[in-house]
Amino acid sequence: MSKIAFLFSGQGAQYPGMGKSLYEESSAAKKVFDTADKIRSGTSEQCFTGALEELSVTKNTQPCLYCVDLAAARALEEAGIHADFAAGFSLGEVAALTFAGAFSEENGFAFVTKRAEAMQEAAEQNPGAMAAVLKLPNETVEKLCEEFSRVWPVNYNCPGQLVVAGEQEELARFCARVGEEGGKAVPLAVSGGFHSPLMDSAAKKLETALREIPVQKPGLPVYANFTAAPYGEAVRELLVSQVKSPVRWQETVEALAAEGVDTFVECGAGKTLCGLVKKTIKDARIFRVEDIETLKAAVEALKG
């Protein structure tokens, strides 16, 4: 029997106008944005009319993308499509956990707002950058990172793609070394060295913040970035570790496939995760939902 996993998009997928048609045509999606606006005034307007520059500031990016992620998943549910499993890439993991009931919608949004502020502050205090390394085995990239004191492998995305983070000057030298080894390093449009030790101060702040936020074990299996395995009771601990540790995305997708998942639906802005799944699982059925058109297309295909 076919099993479905909802995948929740991460930072970098943002664009002006995202989520607007879902808000206008799905009552379940509208509720997500309305809840966010009560906690952080203007969030929906920022999604719908904000400029790309504004949306790309971390303290704005994360709350906005969270809303689009969760709104897409709620709209799918409203249309009768239900997930057997869930996973989210970095920021998307908070939306996945909220979708699965680990947080209430209010508390999930409150947490993602605190996460965004803490990560932006850490990035300002410890400036960093990220680059995707292509055409080299992971083992080669890891060895190259060991040549530098402030460069780390952080996002294991799919076969042949490993993202690294580091201090800007060292990362530039690292990228040159990648070229010498026959690989290609592509700088990413992000505002910090996420999922690395440069985020240690953010992790400490979130550890404190999570003590005040009610959390419970998800009602649906949600695969954690930190372990590439389902969350249990230790939701707070894994969320703290996630901010400063690598995202094991390829392993996560492979683990979901091993559980019988053959259909993956990316919920949220863009189609980055669709591409990563396609490169990881050869015969997977892959859909995305980011607006009313893609929602209708996915629902028609999944119900057919």
Q: Tokens 């979130």 correspond to what residue?
A: 206
At residue 1 the predicted structure's pLDDT band, cuts being 50, 70 and 90, is: low
CB 43 within 8 A of CB 104: no
Say whether pLDDT at 153 is over 90: yes
Pairing state of beta strands 161-166 and 129-134? antiparallel
The residue out of 136, 167, 187 marking a domain boundary is 187
**Percent of the chain at pLDDT above 70?**
100
Asked whether residue 20 falls in the same domain as residue 158, the answer is: no
In this prediction, residue 304 carries a pLDDT of 77
Here the CATH number for the domain that contains residue 269 is: 3.40.366.10
Is 118 within a domain?
yes
In this prediction, residue 197 carries a pLDDT of 97
Is 192 within a domain?
no
Asked whether residue 165 falls in the same domain as residue 292, the answer is: no
In this prediction, residue 190 carries a pLDDT of 84
Asked whether residue 209 falls in the same domain as residue 291, the answer is: yes
Burial degree of 138 (CB within 10 A; 0-12, 13-18, 19+)? middle
Here the CATH number for the domain that contains residue 180 is: 3.30.70.250
- Please report, for residues 18, 147, 201, 203, 223, the alpha-carbon distance to residue 150 in angstroms, rounded to integers and kept in the order given: 35, 9, 16, 18, 28
Say whether pLDDT at 34 is over 80: yes
Residues 6+ apart with CB under 8 A from 26: 71, 74, 75, 78, 292, 295
Rounded to two decimals, what is the model's pTM?
A: 0.96
Asked whether residue 209 falls in the same domain as residue 101, the answer is: yes
Is 48 within a domain?
yes
Asked whether residue 120 falls in the same domain as residue 53, the answer is: yes
Verify whether residue 195 is a known catalytic residue. yes
Say whether pLDDT at 148 is over 90: yes
Domain total of the chain = 2
**Percent of the chain at pLDDT above 90?**
97
Rounded Cα gap, residues 141 and 159, in angstroms? 13
Range of the domain at 160: 128-187
Mean pLDDT within 214-233: 97
- Active-site hit among 9, 26, 44, 90: 90
Verify whether residue 90 is a known catalytic residue. yes
Asked whether residue 85 falls in the same domain as residue 173, the answer is: no
Asked whether residue 229 falls in the same domain as residue 168, the answer is: no
Mean pLDDT within 219-242: 97
Asked whether residue 172 falls in the same domain as residue 220, the answer is: no
Mean pLDDT within 81-92: 98
In this prediction, residue 116 carries a pLDDT of 97
Average pLDDT, the chain: 97
In this prediction, residue 244 carries a pLDDT of 97
Burial degree of 37 (CB within 10 A; 0-12, 13-18, 19+)? middle
For 67-81, how does the pLDDT look when each residue is reduced to its tens digit (9 = 90+)? 999 999 999 999 999
- Active-site hit among 195, 196, 201, 245: 195
At residue 191 the predicted structure's pLDDT band, cuts being 50, 70 and 90, is: confident
Using the Cα atoms of residue 167, residue 170, residue 175 and residue 177 in order, give the sign of their dihedral.
Answer: negative
Asked whether residue 94 falls in the same domain as residue 214, the answer is: yes
| Residue among 92, 101, 121 nearest 273 (CA) | 92
